[in-house]
Amino acid sequence: MLFGALALATVTYVGCKDYDDDIDNLQTQIDANAAGLAELQAKVNAGNWVTDVKTITGGFEITFNNGNKYSIVNGKDGSVVKIGANGNWFIDNVDTGKPARGEKGETGATGPQGPQGETGATGPQGPQGLTGPAGKSPFIGDGTGEFEKDYWYFYDDATDKWVKGDYSSATVYAVQNEGLPSFTLHVKDKTTGTELTTILPTAALISSIEGVTIENGKITAGGTKELKLSYAQCKADFTFGMGDEKKEFKKNDLLITNSGVLNALINPVGPDFTDSKYQIYLMNSQNEANFVISKIEQNKTAKPLTRATEAKVNRGVYDLTVTLKDGLNLENALPADEAYAFCTKDAWNNEIISAYDVKIKPEAVTNATKLADAAVSAKVGEVQVLDDLAAAATTTPMDLSTVYAYYYKLAADAPEGVTLGTNEAGKQTITSTKGQEAKVEVCYITTNGIPFDGEAHEGIDYSSVGGSSAPAKLTVTFKQIETKSLAAQTVVWNKSEKSDIVVSAANIKAIKDAITAAKLASSTATVNDGDKVKFSGIGVSGDTKYDDLKLTVAAAYKGTMEVVLTVDVDATKQIIFKMPVTVDYKMPVFTKTSGMWTEDDEVSLLINETKNGDKIQSISLEREMGSIFTTWSAITGGVTSGIYNSITYAIDKNGEDPVGSESDGKFTVDMDHAKDNMALTVNVNCQPNDAAEPASIANQKVKFISLSKLLTSTFGATDAKKGITTAYTAETIDAEIDVLGDIVWKDRKGKNMWPTANGETYDTSVLTTADDVLALYGYSIKVELSDKVYFKFDANKKLKLTADGKALKGLVQDLVVTVTITPSISWSATSPAAVVKTVTFPTALFAD
């Protein structure tokens, strides 16, 4: 349906949006005269377009995109003229029997000679005086020449002539312009009787169109990607289709066997052109338009183009579905592998064209695969879509995307009670009033242009494709389908559990009772093989075939699902048994020991001291899981008894190295890789029989109190009141300066670790230096001299001059050294601040 005519009536033009008639301030009445139409044209010139045209008493109401409404009245009612589903023109919903135009985009013949009328705005081709876009739009005769006054005239493509229709008293009517986004409004001036016209656009004005490429989420200007379109040619003349919908195909007619999508940027980007009346086609440089756009959709992606989640519209970018223009054949238009341009026309028949950078590569199809016969089950009394049944065939599903065209019809021997129909979406359906088998013939044209519809087609050689034009058979077995629920069962995994679980006796009895004893042996059962839990153990024959039913559970599966057993009791009855099954593990319980966990849900590490008498020789930081979980013995016992496979630990790392290790449920810190905030996760694993690998069925994270809290220490002055001396002056050249004596690093108990370890707390026979004591806790200290030539520390850790320093004579300035004392904590992001001291040996000490 390419255009429609709308005259005065009491119904609304199909597809237009209704607006609230009560918005009085937006509604204006325009007289049916030249001045009135000029006022309407001014609205169009301001950039507005029509969103609705509907009839009102004595005229039309026109709604623009801004919501403003205008009524054009002449006082007389008329009729609605539109194209019906069968392609004929309908007047007041009555079929005229007159076919409407069918060829999209073809230029119509010149309209017949009529009386000279007032030249209006651009309009469709018709009687002389209605200048506008070419076409074969219906019109009402005015009594001139062969056109009788007040009768509708329709163009007949078959005879290439205008055909007279029924009488009409309409004085105002609108015709949708063929292939253009506009109406032409026809109005007889109520004063002069002269027919006036004006163009009413039905979409925003396209200013430009540009082919673009979208690949991997990126948009690139400068043309489209190459689109491969497959086509075939008809082998001979033939007709194909159902009843009144039969279509004629001519030898060498071209058939497009697939469609593809190209992308374009259409300006302006504000309006949405998806539902507009624009017709876009592809034209080569010779002005040949063999490809057309059958669908315009806004391009949507999950992520914005050119940037790195719900699909959203990409502004101004459209997906254009390309197909071959109808009616082409090898004699008049063989598609060429060449560059094309996007073309369209605006409301006034002005052409808009892109660059010639749209790439189409046609490819001829020479061979094609026939459809194979298939069988499927359907439920009695339900309307089933045949496409869905074909795709769900239990033998070989029919892939109808591999054929050019197809339709269904009942076989000649189809039983009573089976009916084919068509749903609202135009899909063929089937239904049956009782359980029985029906054969449906799938008539189709292969992608290389051969029809298989059971008809004799002269000129087509079927010898290489089975010897006949027989259609494919879809056998539909209608069954009384019942659904029965079984009692729920639970499966609890353990280490030694097998994958086949016995179905309860009560459920087996329910299954057998529903099938009935008489049908047990002859019934057949199927399961859903892909399910994680499915029935198994079905016997081969006999009344006991369901006695050993089991549930086969996928290895390490956990969850709840409905397990399905489909039993064909006989050819016309099916029972679907559904049983809820929950698969779980015997879950370990982590119960936290009271008093061991802080309010922040942390655990303290235990400082374990190894001593010689009362003196510390070494320490370790550790924690046993059994001390922080009261249920730990039950969890480890589960491994011993075979409920679980193992307990593993995911221990924090410092870089690539773990901060500690676990042995027999005890975590021990490695001070070389410790860090302030440490944690580990305890995983309990179960690997049921036949499982490829264990599954972690439960875990508990253990966070430890920071080492900064656990290993508190103080670094600073020995006398808080005095502070740390930072400057010293030597009084003799042999002076020993105690630069470290007023600094101390004490452990968490207030005992000295450095510069001299407390001999009553630490075993200095093992920890021979203060640095050894610091290392127990991950501490260290560095003392650096700015001058190591003239200064050194003696055995008592006091600063003095070296021999070279003492040998210096006649200095003109003091000899100064800087001492930097830097404490460090390896596991902490922060350490105590460094202390910087200066020692001065005055020049007087170096006199000759």
Read off the pLDDT of residues 26-76 as tens digits, 9 standing for 90 and up. Answer: 334 455 556 667 777 787 888 888 888 777 766 667 888 888 887 776 655
Report the distance separating Cα 201 and Cα 204, nearest Å.
Answer: 8
Residue 602 one-letter amino acid? E
CA angle 139, 142, 146 (to 5 degrees): 90
Q: Under 8 Å CB-to-CB from 603, ≥6 apart: which residues?
A: 596, 597, 623, 628, 702, 703, 704, 705
Tokens encoding 14: 């199909």
pLDDT over 80 (residue 89): no
**Least-confidence region, from 302-306, 356-360, 742-746:** 302-306
What six digits make up the tokens of 591? 């119960």
Domain 714-846 has CATH 2.60.40: yes
Distances (CA, A) of 323 to 123, 320, 372, 381, 616: 29, 10, 27, 39, 89
Q: Give the per-residue pLDDT at 831.
A: 94
Q: State which of 126-130, 158-162, 250-254 shows the largest mean pLDDT.
A: 250-254
Give the separation between CA 826 and CA 676, rounded to whole angstroms: 9
Residue 833 has which token pair?
Answer: 């601040």
b/e sequence 771-794, b meaning 16+ C-beta within 10 Å: bebbbbbbbebeeebeeeebbbbe
Q: What integer pLDDT is reported at residue 47 of this predicted model?
A: 80
Stretch 359-374: mean pLDDT: 82
- CA 181, 185, 191: angle at the middle one, nearest 5? 165
Could you tell me the CA-to-CA distances from 748 to 676, 678, 834 in Å, in that order?
16, 20, 20
Is 169 strand, coil or helix? coil
Q: How much is the mean pLDDT over the chain?
A: 81
**Chain segment 185-228, per-residue pLDDT in tens:** 777 665 666 777 788 888 888 888 888 888 777 788 888 877 77
Q: Using an 8 Å Cβ cutoff, are 779 and 748 in contact?
A: no
Q: What is the pLDDT of residue 169?
A: 66
Collapsed DSSP state (helix, strand, coil) of residue 798: coil
Tell me yes or no: is domain 374-480 CATH 2.60.40.10.
Answer: yes
For the chain, percent of residues with pLDDT exceeding 70: 81
According to the model, what pLDDT value does residue 838 have? 97
H or E element: which one contains 537?
none
Of these ranges, 195-204, 317-326, 699-708, the one predicted with the greatest mean pLDDT is 699-708
Higher pLDDT, 789 or 327: 789
Pairwise CA distance, residues 149 & 188, whole Å: 13
Instruction: Give DSSP secondary structure letters for 193-252.
Output: --EEEEEEESSPPP-EEEEEEEETTEEEESSPPPEEEEEEE-SS-EEESSGGG-EEE-TT
Split at pLDDT 50, 70, 90, the class of 301 is low
More reliable by pLDDT, 733 or 396: 733
Residue 15 half-sphere exposure toward CB, CA atoms < 13 A: 11
Residue with tokens 């439920």: 379
* Nearest alpha-carbon partner for 342 in 263, 395, 286: 263
The residue ranking higher by pLDDT, 79 or 651, is: 651
Q: Do you know the residue count of the chain?
A: 848
Spatial separation of the C-alpha atoms in residues 528 and 815, rounded to whole Å: 93
Q: How many CB atoms lie within 10 A of CB 449?
A: 25
Q: Do 129 and 122 meet the contact criterion of CB atoms below 8 Å apart?
A: no
Pairing outcome for strands 88-91 and 80-83:
antiparallel
Say how far apart CA 744 and CA 228 lie, in whole Å.
Answer: 83
Higher pLDDT, 448 or 618: 618
Residue type for position 598: T
Mean pLDDT of 595-599: 95
Rounded Cα distance between 542 and 155, Å, is 73
Among 18-27, 167-176, 677-686, 723-732, the least confident range: 18-27
Helices (H), 448-568: 505-515
Buried b (16+ CB within 10 A) or exposed e, 484-504: eebeebebebbbebebebebb
How many alpha carbons fall within 13 Å on the CB side of residue 141? Answer: 21
The answer to whether the beta carbons of residues 99 and 214 sit under 8 Å apart is: no
Give mean pLDDT, residues 264-290: 77
Predicted pLDDT at 257: 62
Three-state secondary structure of 593-641: CCCCECCCCEECCEEEEEEECCEEEEEEEEEEHHHHECCHHHHHHHHHH
Weakest-pLDDT range from 14-18, 230-234, 650-654, 828-832: 14-18
Residue 802 three-state SS: coil
pLDDT digits (tens, 9 = 90+) for 578-596: 999 998 888 899 999 999 9
Give the end-to-end CA distance of the chain in Å, rounded to a whole number.
Answer: 120
| pLDDT category of residue 470 using cuts at 50, 70 and 90 | very high
Contacts of 284 (CB under 8 A, 6+ apart): 290, 336, 338, 339, 340, 341, 356
Share of the chain above pLDDT 90, in %: 43
pLDDT of residue 283: 82
CA pair distance 411, 414, nearest whole angstrom: 5
